[in-house]
A and B are shown apart, each in its own frame.
Chain A
Amino acid sequence: MLVRRDADDIREIRPRAALAALVVVCAMLVLVGRLYQLQILRGNDYVAQSVQNFRKSLFVPADRGSLLDRNGKTLVDNRPSFDVYMTPAYCKGREKEEVMTKLAVYLQMTPEDVEQMRLSYQKSWVKDRLERFKPFLVEVDIPRDQVDVLEAHHSELTCVDLIPTPHRNYRVGPSLGHVIGYMSEVMPDEIDSSQNDEDDYSYRRGQSIGRGGLERRWERELRGKDGKENIAVDAKGRHLGKEIDELLIPEGERKIDATPGNNLVLSIDARLQEAADTAFPGRAGAVVVMEAKTGFIRALVSRPSFDPNKMSMRISRTELAKLTGDPLKPMLNRVMTENYHPGSTFKVVTSLAALEKGVIGTQTTTFCGGGYTMGNHRWRCDKPTGHGALTVKSALQYSCDVFYYSAGDRAGIDALSDMAHRLGYGQPTGLDLGREISGIIPNSSTINPATGSLRAHAINASIGQGEINVTPLQQAVAYAAIANGGTVWKPQIIQRIESPDGKVLKEFKPEPDVNNGREGKLGVKPEYLAAVRAGLTAVVNEPGGTAYRSRLPDIRFAGKTGTAQVVKLGQKQNLKTDAQQYFSRDHAWFASFAPAEDPEIVVIVLNEHGGWGAEAAAPVASKIIKAWSDIKKQDDTKSMARAEQ
C-alpha cells in the first residue's frame, strides 16, 4: 500500500526530474561556454598576461658615450657601480615596512632619503596596476661595502634589486661644468613624452638623462641603447634560476645586449683648459680660448661653476638650495647666457665703423684735451690732462676715450650698430651648447628718445658703455674676425662624433657665422683691420700700452683692455657691506689674440667685478697665451719626434 503510493509519488517526481536534468545540462553548457570564451576566444590575451606575470625584464644599461678632448684625453667616461631599485608590487604591507627599515639601516639613508623612498613607493600605487611592477630608484651609486651588505641580505629583500649601472665619471671637475653639464633622474613627463619615440629611445623610471651642456645637447648620441635580460620570477618576484628561465623564456629573448653610446671628441684641450682655469684669479667671470681661423673652442671657463659628479644625483637638497641661492649664480653659464658692458674692448668696433664711414683715416689724428663736449654735457677722458694728438693705433694703445667719443659721435649710432652686428654682436653666435642670449646692440630705431639723444647714445656706445651689452663668446667671435682678416666664424666645441670602436661618424668643419647678415664675411677693408691690429699689438708690446706690463718675452700678442662700469647697486639689494663693495666694482676685460702677426688663437678674459682690465684681466690672458705657446711647442716636438721615427 505504502509502496504503491510511494511509487505514484515518484512518478510525479519524474517531470520535475526531467526539468532538473534540463537545468543541469543548460548550466553545464553555460560553464563550457564560459570556458570557450576565456580559453579560445580570449586565450591569447590571457597567455600574454600569464607570461607578463612571471616574466621580469632587467635592463642591461648601455655604456654612455665618453667625452674626449682634442688629444684623446678622457674628460668623461663611466665607471661600474650599483644602483638600488625597489619593485612595489613585490612587497606590500608589513613586508614593505620591514624591507624599508632594513634598507634604511643597510644603506645608512638619511631621513630625507627615507622619506623620498616612501614617496616613490606611494606614487607607484596608482590605479594602473602595471605601475607597481615598475622598479623605482632607491639609492644611486652605493659604495662597495653596502653592495656586500645588500648581497648578504638578499633573501630578506625580495623586492629589492641591485642593478649594476655604469655611472658617469667626470674627470675634469668643476672647470668644464657648464660645457659638459651633468646627469639627473628623468622626470615623469619626460618618460611620458618619450614613449611616443619610434626609435625605441623611451626612458624608464630611475634612468638618468643629460642636463645642460653637451650631456643634454648630445643625449641621443651619447645614450646608446639599453639591453635587456628576461628572467622568470614567481608571484613573490623571486628569481627561479637559470633552468626555469630556459624553460619559460625563448632563447632569443633571454638576453639582448646593450649598444654603447657614441663618443664625442671635443675641440677643448684639457691642458689649456686647466691652465686657463688656474690662471683665472677671480671669484666670477669667464675665459674663452678659441681658434682664430676656425672658431673651434680650445678652453672655456665660466666661474663659479658646479661639480658635475656632485650634481649627478649625489647632491642633497640643502646643497642644491645653497647652489641655486648663491648670489654669484654658479648655474649660470657666463660665456653665453650673461651679458656685460664691453667697455673699452668695444673700441675696435668704433674704430672699424669710423674708418669705414671715413670720419677718421688710418693715419689721421684726433686731439685729446682730456674731455669731449656735446651740447652742455662733457665726457671725460681717463687721463684728465689729455693724450694730445692720436692716430687710431695710439688711441687703442692708450685707450683714449676722447678719440672714440669724437669718432663714435661722427660715425653715428647706426654705423656702430651695423659694424657690431657684422662682427657677431647683438645676435647668438650659434655655439651648439644650449641656450644663448643675444646681448644688446642698440640702433636709432630701438633707442627710446627719452633716454637721451642719438648722439649721446653713440658717444656712450663708442667706449662700450650705455646700452651696449655683449657676451664673452661674442667677444671671441668678433676679435677672431679682426685677427683672421675678416671671417666671422661660428664657434664650435665638437670636432667629431665617433662610434665606440673609434669610427668617425660625423666630422665638424669650420662654419661661418651666418647670423652676421653677410654669410660670415666681415666685409671691412684689410687696411682698416690692419690698422686696428697694429693698435692692439701696441697695447701689449709698446711702452705706454695699457697692457704693456703683461707682454711676453718670446711671443708677441695683441689685445685690448676694458673696464666696464657697473650700474651702482641700490641699498635695497640688502647685501652685506663687503658684498656690496664687491658687486659695485667694475668688470675687468681683456680681449686678445696671439701671435700678433699671424693670429692662431683668441683669448677673452672677463673678470667680473675684478676692477681694471689692465690689472685684473690682461695678466690672465698673458698667462693663458704663454701656456698655449708652451703646449704648442711641446706638441711640435712630439710630432717631430714621431716624424723622425
Chain B
Amino acid sequence: MSMATEKKLDHLNWPLALCTAIICALGVWNLASATKSLPDPLWAKQAVMMGLGVVAIGIFLFVDYRWLQTLAWPGYFAALALLAGVAFKGKKVLGARRWLQVGPMQLQPSEFVKLAVIVLMARYFSRDETGARKGQYGLIDLWRPFLLILLPVALVMKQPDLGTALVTFFIAFTMVMFAKVRWRDLAILAVSGVAGSVFAWKRVLKPYQKDRVLTFLDPAAYAKGAGYHAIQSVIAVGSGQWGGKGWGEGTQNQLSFLPEQHTDFIFSVWAEEHGFLGGLLLISLYGFLVLAAIDVASNARDKFGSFLAVGVAGLFFWHAFINIGMVSGALPVVGVPLPLFSYGGSSVLADMLGVGILLNVSMRRFMF
C-alpha cells in the first residue's frame, strides 16, 4: 500500500496541483482585500472551504475515478432533486432563488449540477457506441445527451441564473465537440446559432424587449440604473494601469463603487489593485490550468477519464473567460463566478472537486 501510495504520489500532476495552489492562495489574499470593510472575515471562510476541498481531493485520490461511472446517474438525479428543492424551498436573494439552506450552511446546487453533468456526459460518450458504429455522430444522434442537459439547464434558468445555465450548457457543448461529431454539423450548429441570435437582436427584438433580456441577464444591475455595475467595473479595471494601486488601496473596491466586489466582480478588485501585470499573471494561471486539463484529457487511460478531463477543462475555461470578459466590459454582465477567486463555498468546493478529478485521471494514466 505504502509503495503504491508513493508511486501514485510520483504520478501526481504536480504542475497542475501547484498551479491550483497558487490560484487558491492569490484568491484568498485578494478576497481579504475585497472584504476589508466587511465585519466578517470572509477570506478565512473561503480558506477553510479550500482546505475542505484539499481533504476531499486527498480522499478522492485513493479511489479510482472509474468508480464515478457508477455514481453518474445517482449523482445526476440527486442534482436534479436539489434543483427542484431550490425551486420550492430556496432562499430568495436579489430576485433570484439560488440557495438552499442546509443546516448552518447555504448550498448552491447549481454549482454541483455542473459536475454531475460532466460525469454523466463522460459516461455517456465513453459508452455510447453510435459514434463508433457510424464512424461519426450526426446532429440527430445527439438527441439523448441534449435532453439530459436540457433538464438541469432549464431548472437553473428558472432560478433565474442565466450565467450558470449558459456555462453548464457550454461545458456539455465542449464535451460534445470532443465526441466524434461531424465537423460540418458542428459548423452548421454554431453558425446558425450565432447568426440567429444576432439577427434577432438587431432586427426582431424591440428596444423594450432587449431591455427585458438585459434585465433578465442581470436584474441587480438594472435595479440601480442601467449598466452601473459594468461601468464601475470597467473603471476599476482600467484605473489599475500597469502595476495597480496596491493591495487594499483600490478606491473602486475599498470605497464600494464596485458592486459585488467579493463575488462576481472579484477580478476587478484584482485588476485594480495589481494592474495589467497582475491581470496577465492571473489569466496565464487560468490558461495554464485549462491547458493542463486538456493535456490530461489527451493522455488519459480511457475515454471516460478523457471526457471527464475535457469537462473540467471546459468548467474552468468558460468560467474564467466569461467572468473576466464580463467584468472588463467585453461581454454582457451575466453572473458567473471566477473559479477559486470569487467568494462562495459551493463554487469553491465544486472547483476543488474538479481539480480532484483532473489529478485522479492524470495519476492513473499509466495504470492498466
Q: Once the chains bind, are A13 and B306 in contact (CB under 8 Å)?
A: yes
Q: Which of A38, A47, A233 contacts B329 (CB 8 A)?
A: A38
CB neighbours (8 Å) of A58 from chain B are none
CB neighbours (8 Å) of B263 from chain A are none
Within the complex, what minimum Cβ distance (angstroms) separates A231 from chain B? 12
What is the CA–CA distance of A28 and B177 in the complex, to the nearest angstrom? Answer: 20
CB neighbours (8 Å) of B235 from chain A are 46, 49-50, 53
Q: Once the chains bind, are A14 and B271 in contact (CB under 8 Å)?
A: no
Q: Which of A10, A28, A54, A235 contacts B286 (CB 8 A)?
A: A28
What is the CA–CA distance of A365 and B238 in the complex, to the nearest angstrom? Answer: 98
Per the 8 Å Cβ criterion, residues 245-295 of B in contact with A are 251-252, 255-257, 271-272, 275-276, 279-280, 283-284, 286-287, 290-291, 294-295
CB neighbours (8 Å) of A232 from chain B are 251, 255
Q: How many A-B pairs with Cβ below 8 Å?
A: 143
Stretch with Cβ within 8 A of A (4 or more), from B43-51, B92-100, B155-163, B320-328 = B320-328
CB neighbours (8 Å) of A34 from chain B are 325, 328-330
Say whether A575 faces chain B, with CB atoms less than 8 Å apart.
no
Say whether A21 faces chain B, with CB atoms less than 8 Å apart.
yes
Per the 8 Å Cβ criterion, residues 14-40 of B in contact with A are none
Closest to A51 in B: B251
Per-position contact with B for A1-30: 1 when CB-CB < 8 Å, else 0?
001001001101110110011001101101
Q: Once the chains bind, are A54 and B306 in contact (CB under 8 Å)?
A: no
Within the complex, what minimum Cβ distance (angstroms) separates B118 from chain A? 15
CB neighbours (8 Å) of A10 from chain B are 298-300, 302-303, 306
Within the complex, what minimum Cβ distance (angstroms) separates B16 from chain A? 15
Say whether B106 faces chain A, with CB atoms less than 8 Å apart.
no
Say whether A579 faces chain B, with CB atoms less than 8 Å apart.
no
Say whether A582 faces chain B, with CB atoms less than 8 Å apart.
no
Closest to A247 in B: B249
CB neighbours (8 Å) of B299 from chain A are 10
Say whether A389 faces chain B, with CB atoms less than 8 Å apart.
no
Q: Which of A16, A32, A50, A240 contacts B257 (CB 8 A)?
A: A50
Q: Which of A6, A40, A54 contacts B242 (CB 8 A)?
A: A40
Closest to B279 in A: A35
What is the CA–CA distance of A155 and B290 in the complex, to the nearest angstrom? Answer: 49
Within the complex, what minimum Cβ distance (angstroms) separates A248 from chain B? 7
**Across the A-B interface, the 10 shortest Cβ-Cβ residue pairs:** A46-B238, A43-B241, A50-B239, A38-B238, A28-B287, A234-B255, A46-B239, A235-B256, A39-B276, A6-B302
Q: Which of A17, A25, A38, A233 contacts B255 (CB 8 A)?
A: A233
Q: Once the chains bind, are B242 and A39 in contact (CB under 8 Å)?
A: yes
Secondary structure call for the A interface: helix
Between B236, B242, B251, B306, the greatest number of chain A beta carbons within 10 A of the residue's beta carbon is seen for B251
Using A34-B330, A53-B252 as known contacts, say yes or no to A17 and B280 having CB atoms under 8 A apart: no
Per the 8 Å Cβ criterion, residues 169-204 of B in contact with A are 174, 177-178, 180
Within the complex, what minimum Cβ distance (angstroms) separates A575 from chain B? 57
What is the CA–CA distance of A234 and B232 in the complex, to the nearest angstrom? Answer: 13
Q: Once the chains bind, are A31 and B283 in contact (CB under 8 Å)?
A: yes
Say whether A508 faces chain B, with CB atoms less than 8 Å apart.
no
Q: Once the chains bind, are A9 and B256 in contact (CB under 8 Å)?
A: no
CB neighbours (8 Å) of A39 from chain B are 237-238, 240-242, 271, 275-276, 279
What is the CA–CA distance of A24 and B314 in the complex, to the nearest angstrom? Answer: 10
CB neighbours (8 Å) of B11 from chain A are none
Within the complex, what minimum Cβ distance (angstroms) separates A597 from chain B? 79
CB neighbours (8 Å) of A190 from chain B are none
What is the CA–CA distance of A46 and B126 in the complex, to the nearest angstrom? Answer: 50
Within the complex, what minimum Cβ distance (angstroms) separates B85 from chain A? 32
Q: Which of A6, A42, A45, A54 contacts B301 (CB 8 A)?
A: A6
Closest to A10 in B: B306
Q: Once the chains bind, are A40 and B287 in contact (CB under 8 Å)?
A: no
Within the complex, what minimum Cβ distance (angstroms) separates B218 from chain A? 18
> How many B residues touch the partner, as a band?
35 or more
Given contacts A17-B295, A50-B239, 4 further A-B contacts (CB under 8 A): A9-B303, A16-B177, A28-B287, A40-B242
Say whether A236 faces chain B, with CB atoms less than 8 Å apart.
yes
CB neighbours (8 Å) of A53 from chain B are 232, 235, 251-252, 255, 257
Closest to A36 in B: B276
What is the CA–CA distance of A17 and B178 in the complex, to the nearest angstrom? Answer: 8
Within the complex, what minimum Cβ distance (angstroms) separates B284 from chain A? 7
What is the CA–CA distance of A245 and B300 in the complex, to the nearest angstrom? Answer: 58
Say whether B334 faces chain A, with CB atoms less than 8 Å apart.
no
Closest to A28 in B: B287
Within the complex, what minimum Cβ distance (angstroms) separates A42 from chain B? 6
Q: Once the chains bind, are B255 and A240 in contact (CB under 8 Å)?
A: yes
Q: Once the chains bind, are A6 and B294 in contact (CB under 8 Å)?
A: no
Number of interface residues of A (CB under 8 A): 43
Within the complex, what minimum Cβ distance (angstroms) separates B275 from chain A? 6
Q: Which of A17, A25, A38, A50 contacts B298 (CB 8 A)?
A: A17
Closest to A47 in B: B239
Q: Once the chains bind, are A20 and B313 in contact (CB under 8 Å)?
A: yes
What is the CA–CA distance of A34 and B234 in the complex, to the nearest angstrom? Answer: 11
Between A9, A14, A24, A45, the greatest number of chain B beta carbons within 10 A of the residue's beta carbon is seen for A24
Using A28-B284, A31-B324, A53-B251 as known contacts, say yes or no to A38 and B237 having CB atoms under 8 A apart: yes
Q: Once the chains bind, are A54 and B251 in contact (CB under 8 Å)?
A: yes
What is the CA–CA distance of A248 and B250 in the complex, to the nearest angstrom? Answer: 11
Say whether B315 faces chain A, with CB atoms less than 8 Å apart.
no
What is the CA–CA distance of A390 and B249 in the complex, to the nearest angstrom? Answer: 98
Q: Once the chains bind, are A40 and B276 in contact (CB under 8 Å)?
A: yes
CB neighbours (8 Å) of A47 from chain B are 238-239, 241
Q: Which of A20, A31, A54 contacts B294 (CB 8 A)?
A: A20
What is the CA–CA distance of A50 and B237 in the complex, to the nearest angstrom? Answer: 10
Between A13, A30, A45, A47, the greatest number of chain B beta carbons within 10 A of the residue's beta carbon is seen for A13
What is the CA–CA distance of A51 and B180 in the complex, to the nearest angstrom? Answer: 54
Per the 8 Å Cβ criterion, residues 305-351 of A in contact with B are none
Per-position contact with A for B87-105: 1 when CB-CB < 8 Å, else 0?
0000000000000000000
Q: Once the chains bind, are A21 and B257 in contact (CB under 8 Å)?
A: no
Q: Once the chains bind, are A32 and B255 in contact (CB under 8 Å)?
A: no
Per-position contact with A for B215-231: 1 when CB-CB < 8 Å, else 0?
00000000011000000
Say whether B297 faces chain A, with CB atoms less than 8 Å apart.
yes
Between A39, A47, A232, the greatest number of chain B beta carbons within 10 A of the residue's beta carbon is seen for A39
Within the complex, what minimum Cβ distance (angstroms) separates B167 from chain A? 14
CB neighbours (8 Å) of A234 from chain B are 255-257
Q: Once the chains bind, are A35 and B276 in contact (CB under 8 Å)?
A: yes
Closest to B313 in A: A20
Q: Once the chains bind, are A17 and B276 in contact (CB under 8 Å)?
A: no
Q: Once the chains bind, are B298 and A13 in contact (CB under 8 Å)?
A: yes
Per the 8 Å Cβ criterion, residues 416-435 of A in contact with B are none
CB neighbours (8 Å) of A49 from chain B are 235, 238-239
Q: Once the chains bind, are B238 and A45 in contact (CB under 8 Å)?
A: yes
Q: Which of B234, B284, B306, B321 contacts A38 (CB 8 A)?
A: B234
What is the CA–CA distance of A32 and B298 in the complex, to the nearest angstrom? Answer: 26
CB neighbours (8 Å) of B284 from chain A are 28
What is the CA–CA distance of A45 and B279 in the complex, to the nearest angstrom? Answer: 19
Say whether B368 faces chain A, with CB atoms less than 8 Å apart.
yes
Q: Which of B280, B287, B300, B310 contacts A35 (CB 8 A)?
A: B280
CB neighbours (8 Å) of B240 from chain A are 39, 43
Say whether B317 faces chain A, with CB atoms less than 8 Å apart.
yes
Within the complex, what minimum Cβ distance (angstroms) separates A92 from chain B? 8
Q: Once the chains bind, are A32 and B294 in contact (CB under 8 Å)?
A: no
What is the CA–CA distance of A196 and B225 in the complex, to the nearest angstrom? Answer: 31
CB neighbours (8 Å) of A46 from chain B are 234-235, 237-239
CB neighbours (8 Å) of A31 from chain B are 283, 321, 324-325, 328, 330
Within the complex, what minimum Cβ distance (angstroms) separates A17 from chain B? 4
What is the CA–CA distance of A9 and B286 in the complex, to the nearest angstrom? Answer: 27
Q: Once the chains bind, are A13 and B297 in contact (CB under 8 Å)?
A: yes
Within the complex, what minimum Cβ distance (angstroms) separates B145 from chain A? 17
What is the CA–CA distance of A44 and B241 in the complex, to the nearest angstrom? Answer: 8
Per the 8 Å Cβ criterion, residues 94-127 of B in contact with A are 126
